[in-house]
Amino acid sequence: MATLTLHPGKERSVRRRHPWLFSGAVAQLDGRARPGDTVDVVSSDGRPLARAAWSPASQIRARIWSFDIDESIDHAFFKRRVAAAVARRAALPELAGQQGLRLIHAESDGLPGVIADRYGDTVVVQLTTAGADKWRAAIADSLLKATGCARIYERSDVEVRSLEGLEPVTGWLHGAASDDELVIEENGVHMTVDIVGGHKTGFYLDQRENRRRVAELARGRRVLNCFCYTAGFSLQALAGGAREVVSMDSSGPALETARRNLALNPQLDAARALWIEDDVFAELRNMRGAGESYDLIVLDPPKFAHTAAHAERAARAYKDINVQALRLLAPGGLLMTYSCSGGVSAELFQKIVAGAALDAGASTKMTARIVQRLQGAADHPVDLAFPEGDYLKGLLLQVD
């Protein structure tokens, strides 16, 4: 096994149990290591610190598998880690019986680069790092043993793999596609899951509890769902008794799926659902010009900043859509606004939204207050030593 020696002082992050080692921390690599191979991490004076996966193509040169220097990184290691992640979720009452569930949340479950989501009897796995890629077979086998699922599909087609020198990989690792459309039930609403072509692993599981919150808030309200994708928030609003739900997205195929999802739920009043295919930024301005107003608006845009380097550009986009949405709210209205950009911290996001509220209320003297801070669902935990895992942040605002 090769040995990775750190520069003096760079062991501090390891001692704080942060799992990433950047290129600037690495003094030298003694021995041969291919991408994904396990290396011993030692301090500048040779003291053993951890065992990590080597990734020479990435700025994150190594991701730590274990802070126990005596723990072997082998098939049994992945079996233990996967089983522990599944057991942690089984111990949380709010996750009991969920048909859509995140089983492994990468670094926060001690498995950097490994995402695994369960939809019924199908697991979708996403491997984003050289280390995870190397242990594909062990990870898949461990998931089968821990879940008893019938099939595993790989969706390792995200751009971040290119930073690791990896090509996209998709396909069945175990089992084969079912003849039936994959459908899950969430909070009493049925939704299709496109594991082959959908966003992420096919569905946004991280917003489960926030969709439930929309259902609680929607009764009697006129609701606007921006960047609606396949209408998860929209259908929950209808289920909650919304007077009308307007769903907007620039993607025609996403809206087609959204309409199919509505048809899967005959208990919902389809006459209360309106669909708009357009650029959200432009349409929000058009709505204001037309004198529209809403009682509840959901802003759940795509990722605007992948890293902190893109935060300034992302801030302008977040501010713009929040200004426009706030101007469309009726007195007493609610705005549920999100950022899933890892490069935008919760503190920065609140500052952006605060600035948007000032601009939106400049002529009307509108006041906006935070009613609730929002985050990912319980199956998306955040390791306290790894704040980078806290990517989804949201605010529920009320205006008057």
Cα separation, 106 vs 113, whole angstroms:
5
State the amino acid at position 56 in one-letter form.
Answer: P
b (16+ CB within 10 A) / e for 35-46: bbbbbbbbbeee
Is 226 one of the annotated active-site residues of the chain? no
How is residue 380 written in tokens?
Answer: 């998306």
State the amino acid at position 33 in one-letter form.
Answer: A
R_g of the chain computed on alpha carbons: 23
CB half-sphere exposure, 354, CA atoms < 13 A: 7
How is residue 384 written in tokens?
Answer: 């306290």
State the amino acid at position 243 in one-letter form.
Answer: R
Angle between the N-to-C axes of helices 208-217 and 232-239, in degrees from 0 to 180, rounded to the nearest 10 = 40
> Which single residue is written with the structure tokens 């400049």?
362
Q: Given 149, 226, 228, 340, which residue is catalytic? A: 340
> Which single residue is written with the structure tokens 């390791």?
383
How is residue 158 written in tokens?
Answer: 């995200």
CA proximity to 119, closest of 102, 103, 100, 104: 100
Active site residues: 340
